[in-house]
Amino acid sequence: MFFYARVFLRHFYGSPLPEAPEFDDEHAPMEPHLREAVDRVRAGDWRAGRKLVEDAGADWDVRDWRISALAGMAADDDRWLYEWLRAEPSDPAAVLIQAMLLHRQAADARGSASAAHTSQEQFANFKALSDAAAQVGRRAMALAGPYDPVPWATMLGTMFADRAAVTRSFSEVFAEGRRRDPFNFDLHLTAATLMCEKWYGSHDKMFGIARGVAGAAPAGHKSTLLPLFAHFEYAMREFSWDQRTRQSRNRCKRYFRQSDVQQEMDYWIAKFRAGAPGAGPLSQCRQWMAVYYSLAGRRTDAKVVFDELGQYPEPTHEWNYFWGDREWGYLQNWWWANGVKP
């Protein structure tokens, strides 16, 4: 009752409300030629997928995003991908899409619950599909061009199911990926995740990777915001591990309202804002800013970022960290940022 009264008052006596978020990928903003290519791939035209990747050129962030998007489409219907692989079995893009597809299937097989709430069957399927992804990933690395870092980022992603692989190969794979692209966003995000405390590292190792690349990357680069991700992982592990309650969220809010935490977060956001970002998608990074401002209680700053995100976002898993559901967390904070919720 009070919620709808606030909506009424906001609509008639405040500034107009923007369109409420809708979580529908089919209506997400996309350049016309990209929409056409995606529609053609969905219709079975794998050549449109090949051209989409080729057109990214040496913009590795865009190449990574397009290959990942194609892998997501293949998760729904992979017939076009395997037709492509039969026609061109050594195409680097097709092989990498297959590796990413297997990695996605591995993650789906495990699920998103903590280890204590994951069955042995889920772990076994996670390991088997991750091993298959690594096998295809090694072939993608062999076929890659001399400067392409994307297969190395993908290979890091296959290591979540295999501690021995982390011990044996993490440093070598990470180093080669960095040699190819010293500031690559996905490579460093995956490395920081592998080295966080809930996986195979520690808070110090995770922050070291995130702050190292953020400090070295030029202004405007997405990697300048990786310390925000590290703070989310830290807060979730320390104050909200395996629970999503009002009490755990309040503990996280207190953390993000500490002056030293805000000083660092604001520094990295200012560095990101100071430069021109590349052509790759920015939704994930913008949502990190929105999560931070929401936890920190900074309504005006949060609204600016929510407005940038537009009507058709795909909520990231950090909303789930603190609110228990990605879409619910996004919506609750969107309403709050727009002055409807207290």
* Token pair for 10: 């906001």
- The amino acid present at 301, given as its one-letter code, is D
Q: Does residue 169 sit in the same domain as residue 101? A: yes
Q: Does residue 41 sit in the same domain as residue 121? A: yes
Would you state the pLDDT for residue 4?
Answer: 47
Boundaries of domain holding 36: 31-181
What are residue 198's phi and psi, to 5 degrees? -75, -15
Location of structure tokens 């919620």:
3
Q: Does residue 120 sit in the same domain as residue 48? A: yes
pLDDT band at 32 (very low <50, low <70, confident <90, very high): low
Q: Give per-residue pLDDT as tens, 278-320.
A: 777 899 999 999 999 999 999 999 999 999 999 999 999 999 9
* Integer-rounded Cα radius of gyration of the chain: 21
Would you state the pLDDT for residue 29?
Answer: 59
Domain boundary among 154, 181, 208: 181
Q: Does residue 158 sit in the same domain as residue 275? A: no
The secondary structure element, H or E, covering residue 159 is: none
The total of structural domains in the chain comes to 2
Residue 30 has pLDDT above 50, yes or no: yes
The one-character DSSP state at 45 is: -
The one-character DSSP state at 27 is: G
pTM of the model: 0.92
pLDDT band at 9 (very low <50, low <70, confident <90, very high): very low
Residue 272 resides in a domain: yes
- The amino acid present at 210, given as its one-letter code, is A
Q: Does residue 114 sit in the same domain as residue 163? A: yes
